[in-house]
Amino acid sequence: MADPALYFNRELSQLDFNFRVLAQAQDEAVPLLERLRYLCISCTNLDEFFEIRAATVRHAQDFGMPGAPDGLAPSTVLRRIHERAASLVEAQYRCWNELLRPALNDAGVRILGRDKWNVRQKRWLRTYFRDEIMPVLSPLGLDPAHPFPKILNKSLNIVVVLKGKDAFGRSGHLAIVRAPRSLPRIIQLPERVSGGEHDFVFLSSVLSEFVDELFPGMQVKGAYQFRVTRNSELIVDEEEVENLALALRDELIGRGYLRAMRLEIAADCPKPIVRTLLENFELPENAVYRIDGAVNLNRVIQVYDLVQRPDLKFPPFQPRQLPGSDAMFELLAEDDLLLHHPFDAFTPVLELIRQAAEDPNVLAIKQTLYRTGKDSAIVEHLVQAARNGKDVTVVVELRARFDEEANLGLADRLQEAGVQVVYGVVGYKTHAKMLLIVRREGRRLCRYVHLGTGNYHSGTARAYTDLGLMTSDARIGEDVHQIFQQLSGLAPLIRLHHLLQSPFTLHAGILERIAREAAHARAGRPARIVAKMNALNEPQVVRALYAASQAGVTVDLIVRGACTLRPGVDGVSENIRVVSIVGRFLEHHRVYWFANDGRPDLYCASADWLERNLLHRVETCFPVLDPALAGRVREEALNNYLADNLNAWELQADGSYLKLAPGDEAMPHSAQSWLLAKLCG
């Protein structure tokens, strides 16, 4: 079980997920602007991969940290990352240049390169450059008095080769032009100028074309766009800081200038300039990516929003509304409710909090917030609840990656309104999704609970697949109450009735249930495990699944992204199947089902089967006790996805993914389309 050959590398597996996303951009059956969106998602994902995952490997290399079960040294992983990423970047730009850009042009959505501008367009763009762009630029010539400037993470820059002397008699050589974040990266041409309703140009093209106007009296010999991606993982020694919020604010100031991880530069940039940039950013040669197009290709996503062409997008849908949601407490007093987003509206969650804020019988509201989005209605309701005299406690996770700044502002806003804000537990991110409302009903206090697999974020509730359970079950309410007590105080280890909790009981609970299935199989009883999650890498869980397979347990795993388990190995994992679903919505729910000899257990969770989630975060895993609702979850989130033969990719024993297709006698089945038809009509 310790053989490194039985484990894939997590980083390389995560990187490969983006090839599956890119395949959606290459699929002619997908609406054209949606294909553009998938291309941009793959580019943005790659940015984040270098900012976090590759940076983590570099950190492991620098500090000699112990290796992963796959046995690969960090230096080897970094080399393979750059090799694989280079293939991905080449495929992305080939998709853009050869497929999407021509197809968009044919559909009347033109992203015009410099070689396509006519005289009138060029005249308008020159005026636009002089009026809107040039006033905010500060070109910097490189000489002993002007050393290489700090380059912000993922910012657009132009390196300019100059010849001649300036007004002070200084000889020109190299200059850097940085594009401020205030400038739009995509510029729409007026229809009266361009003749087309949807004509656009990249800011990088405009800068490259008119950069000579920034250096009057000098000759521009070349202008080459570049972009550097930096480590963005904030590291705060929580044991040593007295105030986590203040420490994070300090770290955020310098985040954009941390260690460089990757350099993207125009394909025609001369080698000496590339060497100069690599030396400045302290990068090896394999960390440079020569780009055939705009270095910030993901910015073309703006076109998706600017072009109102329903014929080029997925058909709109209306989420199913919950009848009677104007009286949430009455509904939950009768039955548990299950919400399957985005097919079910997020409205009942918002309504429950709003009604709790206004209800005079509600005494307290407790909630965890990891990501909320801008102008969150939930935050407004919590603020109103505090103003109405409710006892409101919110656990805000300040270290939610890339939302740190937003969450600091959120915490300030809540505290100003009188909400008690807790930052969780030192050393453990609070990733659990919990809402608890305490309401007086006659002589007793009742607890109403919402538990979810996704964030309290209205935007992601329309784009991610997630499950939410709403209940007034007293024992679940008691469990959630105890977890909140633990987060906000210094409560001892607690014994929960129904919930499993990281970092205490969830990991052991999963291992116990996997072992139970193996025992059933060895006793000759039918045994099966079906689990859906975003990623899988925890070594003990992987070994337990191998042992279950060897015992004869049928294991079906639906893992969207990274999976370090190797299926299909004779004598080890021949009973394990792994599929990844990539479709219209981002697959995000976590569901675990164990057959248990006819008495099945079904859990939903905020946690993936990752080492960080099971051992180093605060997570919740909750059972669906109502048999009818449990049946719904199994049908909609497990069986339905295992039947997908249109958007599913099956992981092979060699680490590659095979796109599934309907067989000769099989009906085509898309899990997400089936849910849209079933739940949204």
E strands in 606-672? 617-623, 648-651, 657-659
**CA dihedral sign of residues 21, 23, 29, 31:** positive
- Cβ neighbour number for residue 587 with a 10 Å cutoff: 23
pLDDT at 177: 96
Considering only CA atoms, which of 618, 634, 608, 619 is closest in space to residue 542?
608
- Band (pLDDT 50/70/90 cuts) for residue 65 is confident
pLDDT at 172: 63
d(CA 141, CA 134): 16
Give the CA distances from residue 194 to residues 118, 127, 189, 210, 294, in Å, rounded to whole numbers and listed in that order: 9, 14, 6, 19, 21
Task: Return the exposure string of 476-487: e unless at least 16 CB atoms fall within 10 Å of the residue's CB, then b.
Answer: bbbbbbbbbebb
Alpha helices in 449-593 (DSSP H): 474-488, 506-522, 539-551
Residue 509 has pLDDT above 90, yes or no: yes
Q: Could you say which DSSP state residue 131 is in? A: I
Range 161-176 average pLDDT: 77
The whole-chain average pLDDT of the chain stands at: 94
- Band (pLDDT 50/70/90 cuts) for residue 145 is low
396 Cβ partners below 8 Å, 6+ apart?
369, 407, 410, 411, 414, 421, 422, 423, 424
354 among annotated binding-site residues:
no
d(CA 479, CA 366): 13
d(CA 540, CA 529): 16
Tokens of 630: 């449990």
E strands in 74-196? 109-111, 140-141, 157-163, 174-178, 186-188
- Which amino acid makes up residue 382? L
Q: Name the β-bridge partners of 177.
A: 158
Query: Do 501 and 31 contact (CB within 8 A), yes or no?
Result: no
The per-residue pLDDT for range 583-622, each reduced to its tens digit, is 999 999 999 999 999 999 999 999 999 999 999 999 999 9
d(CA 551, CA 546): 9
**Tokens 């005299």 — which residue?**
389
247 Cβ partners below 8 Å, 6+ apart?
236, 241
- Which amino acid makes up residue 257? Y
The per-residue pLDDT for range 32-53, each reduced to its tens digit, is 999 999 999 999 999 999 999 9
399 among annotated binding-site residues:
no
Neighbour-count burial of 463, counting CB atoms closer than 10 A to its CB (0-12 exposed, 13-18 middle, 19+ buried) = middle
Residue 111 has pLDDT above 70, yes or no: yes
Query: Do 450 and 468 contact (CB within 8 A), yes or no?
Result: yes
Query: Do 85 and 93 contact (CB within 8 A), yes or no?
Result: no
d(CA 59, CA 358): 49
d(CA 77, CA 231): 16
The per-residue pLDDT for range 261-289, each reduced to its tens digit, is 999 999 999 999 999 999 999 999 999 99
- Band (pLDDT 50/70/90 cuts) for residue 681 is confident
- Cβ neighbour number for residue 337 with a 10 Å cutoff: 21
pLDDT at 168: 59
The per-residue pLDDT for range 209-251, each reduced to its tens digit, is 999 999 988 899 999 999 999 998 866 666 555 567 776 677 6
- Cβ neighbour number for residue 673 with a 10 Å cutoff: 15
pLDDT at 169: 63
d(CA 463, CA 268): 39
Neighbour-count burial of 166, counting CB atoms closer than 10 A to its CB (0-12 exposed, 13-18 middle, 19+ buried) = middle
pLDDT at 52: 93
118 among annotated binding-site residues:
no
User: How far apart are the two ends of the chain, measured CA to CA in Å?
Assistant: 48
632 among annotated binding-site residues:
no
588 among annotated binding-site residues:
yes
d(CA 252, CA 249): 5
Q: Could you say which DSSP state residue 592 is in? A: E
Q: Which long-range contacts (CB under 8 A, 24 or more apart) does 629-634 make?
A: 629/336, 629/338, 629/469, 630/600, 630/602, 632/338, 632/340, 633/338, 633/467, 633/591, 633/602, 633/604, 634/530, 634/593, 634/600, 634/602
Considering only CA atoms, which of 503, 506, 459, 538 is closest in space to residue 603?
506
The per-residue pLDDT for range 639-678, each reduced to its tens digit, is 999 999 999 999 999 999 999 999 888 899 999 999 999 9
401 among annotated binding-site residues:
yes
Three-state DSSP state, 278 = helix
* 431 flagged as catalytic: yes
From 198, 340, 381, 431, active-site residue: 431
Tokens of 252: 């955020």
Lowest pLDDT segment from 102-106, 248-252, 569-573, 611-615: 248-252
Phi, psi of 253 (to 5 degrees): -60, -40
Considering only CA atoms, which of 117, 153, 94, 590 is closest in space to residue 297?
94
Task: Return the exposure string of 622-635: e unless at least 16 CB atoms fall within 10 Å of the residue's CB, then b.
Answer: bbbebeebbeebbe
Alpha helices in 489-579 (DSSP H): 506-522, 539-551
The model carries a pTM of: 0.95
**Tokens 């990539």 — which residue?**
582
- Cβ neighbour number for residue 102 with a 10 Å cutoff: 11
Lowest pLDDT segment from 63-77, 226-240, 524-538: 226-240
Range 476-481 average pLDDT: 97
d(CA 105, CA 108): 5
